[in-house]
A and B are shown apart, each in its own frame.
Chain A
């Protein structure tokens, strides 16, 4: 594949599709959108199969100088590869989810969606700092429109909140970027990843980037935009928001904060841990009392993303790889859960949990899929959710048993709120006559559920497919942060050593006596 600009092509295809969609009516637009996303998915598969695992760190590189200090520079490593594959995998499913539910201004809707795809992919392939920034920020705009135009009743407030929060961070990040380029004299991300900024500067640079990534993640207490955005967004928007957009925060930490500011990262690790622990407990408890299905899943996303941050700031192999797997898994699983909500929302037009009940009777296959995704969400071994969660938590235990303990309570609370949801929606008597008449999954919905379910099990049983491509890159990152890695609280003292010290002490005191 050398020389063939596949990354540019992947950015171009949805862009062309978007232009075509703008000009078309609903019927044509959705077909165009589906074809465009499927082409991109095919290209993603090609990308994955041609990615040389264990080869060069940066592959499929493209470079064209545009104007001073600003280059069209693309390239991916294993980490980016996996997030790209996640994006192109979820996109056709989002189009499928929108197939019948979007009626007004459909052409523009699909155009906005395809534009989002281009920009999201751009975030992951960009190797130029400002190119990254543009993609990172511009990605908000179509998403903002999707919520603001095709959203629910409170869409204006939701989109406003979403926009305000995400802007907050990005302004600071931009300032930090200017300073960095000035200091290092390059906009090349791989170069910057190896550049040693002065520790004092790292501190404020870290905080500036943190502001942006913490909002995107989102970390508690910068999360309140997420429940509103999810509740108001159309199903496809929720899927992509939870599935990919939230991953930009984690990707940012992996790509920028950790390798570029390792000293500051270690310095601020307790802050991150504290916020993450708070997020796990607080947002899980909030999820427990929700009556709106989407809000519940949105709050659960915050709790899951906190597992990502504790894993990242464990500074070790298991934590880092675990965080990546949590991100991939959460992308699939929360996407699938939002899709599941969308399936019944399309039928009954309500997200109120109490309006459902007993769906296992009339929608048995739906109940089966929902069970699988519920179990994946609460991290049942054998599903994707477990592998990442286990690795992340295991990783952070090496650093702090307190953090591991509090973060692991998420497995209890997660089970409580998800099973409570399942119990109220799927189990029980068919209390509502209209809910009792809902038909089971149709062909389109099967076609969306099957791939998601397959990936959930694949990642749970044989995650090596996903661990292998990033192994070398995570290794490089681990080596990079190793210099600042804090000492764990476990500090195991073996019996042998202790006897040795005791013996030494005894010897010393004997000598002391002898000296007297």
Chain B
């Protein structure tokens, strides 16, 4: 068994063992086997990645099993490894291994641990199948597999209605995207007579000037195919319009958010566009759409992120926004920069999520930042990690000296967008710059609200419960005591309610430490491979690498290069002003601009809109089709009508055989008349 097979199938085997063994084998063996499998996969992945970095690895294709052969359509289970896959392999296995380890601590009080770890490993397997796919259908297998795992993990606490609702929403909204993906595959097979990715990319240039009939209109072939596939990417990567599931997905346990809804699964759409970049290059229209959607998403999500109070939702919108950056990078042709941002984002965003998890852990499941404050002294290590993550996402750095991870990738994207030279490129640049300002603002807002200022913990019900329990009232039926009657009972006046947050255990801190290293050095260490001119060597044709765009990006005007740093500092300054120097400012702002605030707080009212135009009508239509059409029309005039006619007829013609014989004859007659009249009429 070659190492790639071990990398991919070890997590599957572990998931099966932990999932089926479940409570019979117990939590510790289940955790050992899954975590062990992931560390094994991770250990085997890094050498592959490093050998691609070193430039001496070649792409390899490992067949596993035949899958489907139907006429010209032929695809199999195959593991493909090239530069693009190698990058994804280390991202997936590293973050996943660390999240597995982290979950030992985070989920330690959970009675259902084997199931959780089984889902995590299953997810990793599906994600690995996605990135190693050599044909679109296997990619779709991984695509749906991660969707399933995501559904199961969001709904992990299945007793909570909000969790199962969010899980279902995630799956169904993703299916809207999958509709596009499937249609795209059908179109590809129609045009190329294959679903093999290398074959498609090889034949892509033949699409130049080709047109296709679609839904009764004629379009450029490449445009139709790429846009259909891009709908799939929009679903998985939560782009504007199909993004509504991602914030709700925060109902899942926090390690899940870090692994699935930040580092890996949501980047699948970006991966797909990069993987198929030669195909997307054939359609200017499609690339314009990708750029536009990416830019607008990056702006939209950042605006919403500024008003959310749930720490995880802030990071979720941040993820959505960062994915927008990746898409418009791809749209302007800077696929290398998109992949590099995917790479660095995986580390710093996983870090932010796991850090948030550590805060939530310390604050007894409280997720609302309004009830945090003053935590930096209590949990200094977590604070350090979150600071590293924030420095990375806001893109702090000095050219040619050193920068945190996001500095390299985000600047590269913005410069490429500007260098693209078109109006759309400039639009994306403007959106990106404005989003960078907001990113800096909401990231620092998160830090200040959480770690600085005065403790505001006493207003939190979670903390009240914790204090209540810790003080040992010996009353285990505390579910009945919702509320504030305990809050003031302990004579604390410093806002802590007498609660003492504790730093997380070692198994949570180690992953944070490792990811901190990634967030600090990830950009600095790898930028030269992903971004510099002449890295076509590194990509080896795994994606379209536009030398001239990189060259142009390096020679944009000085103000373009300085703009990200400028807006980053501005955002920081606003956050300091509003949350440290002048804490009354946000309330005053809200009072002044209530409409804008509510618009953002309610996420531009997308959920309400969709509920109004899709969910309710679907239910109402279902009832109409059932009660009115099926029962009221078809049954009434069909079988019930026949019965009525038979009953009437039998009354007239008495003493003939059973009613059924009548209906037999009647139906025969009607049928004959119908058939004959048809023949005559023709």
Within 8 A of B (CB), among A371-394: 371, 375, 380-382, 386-387, 390-391, 393-394
**CB proximity of A314 to chain B, nearest CB, Å:** 11
B155 proximity list for chain A (CB < 8 A): 423, 427
Do A493 and B164 touch across chains, with their CB atoms under 8 A apart?
no
A322 lies within 8 A of chain B by Cβ: yes
User: For chain B, what secondary structure do more than half of its interface residues adopt (helix, strand, loop), or is it mixed?
Assistant: helix
Whether B66 sits at the interface, judged by CB under 8 Å, is: yes
B622: chain A residues within 8 A (beta carbon)? 285-289
Is there a chain A Cβ closer than 8 Å to B527's Cβ?
Answer: no
Q: Per-position contact with B for A188-207: 1 when CB-CB < 8 Å, else 0?
A: 00000000000010011001
The 22 listed contacts between A and B (C-beta, < 8 Å) are A161-B635, A175-B672, A175-B675, A203-B678, A203-B682, A204-B678, A285-B622, A289-B619, A289-B622, A371-B152, A394-B185, A405-B183, A405-B215, A409-B179, A412-B172, A413-B618, A419-B167, A423-B168, A428-B164, A467-B70, A492-B211, A498-B210
Which 9 A/B pairs are nearest by Cβ-Cβ distance? A495-B209, A317-B71, A397-B186, A285-B622, A289-B622, A381-B141, A427-B158, A427-B164, A171-B668
User: Taking the complex as formed, is A309 at the interface, i.e. its CB lies under 8 A from any CB of chain B?
Assistant: no
Contact A401 B213 (CB under 8 A): yes
A498 to B165, CA, bound (A): 51
* Contact of B211 with A411 in the complex, beta carbons under 8 Å: no
Given contact pairs A225-B639, A318-B73, A286 touches B215 in the complex (Cβ within 8 A): no
- Asked if A492 contacts B210 (CB within 8 A), the reply is yes
**Minimum CB distance partner of B71 in chain A:** A317
Choose one: A224, A401, A415; the contact of B175 (CB below 8 Å): A415
| Contact bitstring B128-158, A, C-beta under 8 A = 1, else 0 | 0000000001001100110010011001001
Q: Shortest Cβ distance from B116 into chain A, in angstroms?
A: 13
- Interface residues as binary, A448-470 with B (CB distance below 8 Å gives 1, 0 otherwise): 00000000000001111001000
Measured CA separation A464–B66 after assembly (Å): 8
Of residues 145 through 172 on chain A, the ones whose CB sits less than 8 Å from some CB of chain B are 160-161, 163-165, 167-168, 171-172
Is the CB–CB distance between B679 and A203 below 8 Å?
yes
- B171, A419: Cβ atoms under 8 Å? yes
Verify B675–A208 contact, CB threshold 8 A.
yes
Beta-carbon contact of A411 and B212 below 8 Å? no
Q: Is the CB of B144 within 8 A of A464?
A: no
Given the complex, which residues of A lie within 8 Å of B477, measured CB to CB? none
- Contact partner of A161 (CB less than 8 A), chosen from B171, B183, B639, B671, is B639
Interface code B156-181, partner A: CB below 8 Å = 1, 0 otherwise?
Answer: 00110100110110011001101100
B62-82 interface code vs A (CB 8 A; 1 in, 0 out): 000111111111000100000
Task: State whether the Cβ of B606 lies closer than 8 Å to any Cβ in chain A.
Answer: no
Determine whether the beta carbon of B176 is less than 8 Å from that of A412: yes
* A423-B625 contact given A375-B148, A391-B68, CB 8 Å threshold: no
Residues of B within 8 A of A462 (CB): 65-67
Please give the number of chain B residues whose Cβ is less than 8 angstroms from any Cβ of chain A in the complex: 81
Q: Using Cβ atoms and an 8 Å threshold, which residues of chain A touch B145?
A: 380-382
Please name the residue on chain B nearest to A284 by beta carbon: B622
For residue B498, CB closer than 8 A to chain A, the reply is no
A494 at the interface (CB under 8 A from B): yes
**Known contacts A160-B643, A380-B148, A402-B216; A285 and B625 CB within 8 A of each other:** yes
Report if B590 contacts A (CB, 8 A): no
Q: What's the Cα separation between A168 and B672 when bound, in Å? A: 11
User: Shortest Cβ distance from B455 into chain A, in angstroms?
Assistant: 34
Q: Which residues of B contact A283 (CB under 8 A)?
A: 625
- B65 interface neighbour in A290, A316, A461, Cβ under 8 Å: A461
Q: Is the CB of B190 within 8 A of A397?
A: yes
Q: Contact between B675 and A207 (Cβ–Cβ < 8 Å)?
A: yes
Besides the contacts A412-B178, A412-B179, what 15 more A-B pairs have beta carbons closer than 8 Å? A165-B639, A207-B678, A208-B671, A224-B638, A286-B625, A289-B623, A358-B159, A401-B214, A404-B186, A405-B179, A419-B172, A428-B158, A491-B213, A494-B206, A494-B209
Give residues in B with beta carbon < 8 Å to A.
19, 22, 65-73, 77, 137, 140-141, 144-145, 148, 151-152, 155, 158-159, 161, 164-165, 167-168, 171-172, 175-176, 178-179, 182-183, 185-187, 189-191, 206-216, 221, 618-619, 621-623, 625-626, 629-631, 634-635, 638-639, 642-643, 660, 663-664, 667-668, 671-672, 675, 678-679, 682
- Taking a contact as CB atoms under 8 Å apart, the answer to whether B158 and A360 are in contact is yes
Contact B206 A495 (CB under 8 A): yes
Bound form: Cα–Cα A417–B69 in Å: 31
Tell whether A380 pairs with B183 under 8 Å between CB atoms, given A171-B668, A286-B625, A419-B171: no
Q: Determine the residue in chain A with the shortest Cβ distance to B615.
A: A416
Name the contact of A428 in the complex, choosing from B161, B172, B191 (C-beta under 8 A): B161
Interface: A183 (CB within 8 A)? no
In this complex, which of B158, B187, B216 has the most chain A Cβ atoms within 10 angstroms of its Cβ? Answer: B158
Chain A's closest residue to B23 (CB) is A364
Q: Which residues of B contact A380 (CB under 8 A)?
A: 144-145, 148
The answer to whether A467 and B68 have CB atoms under 8 Å apart is yes
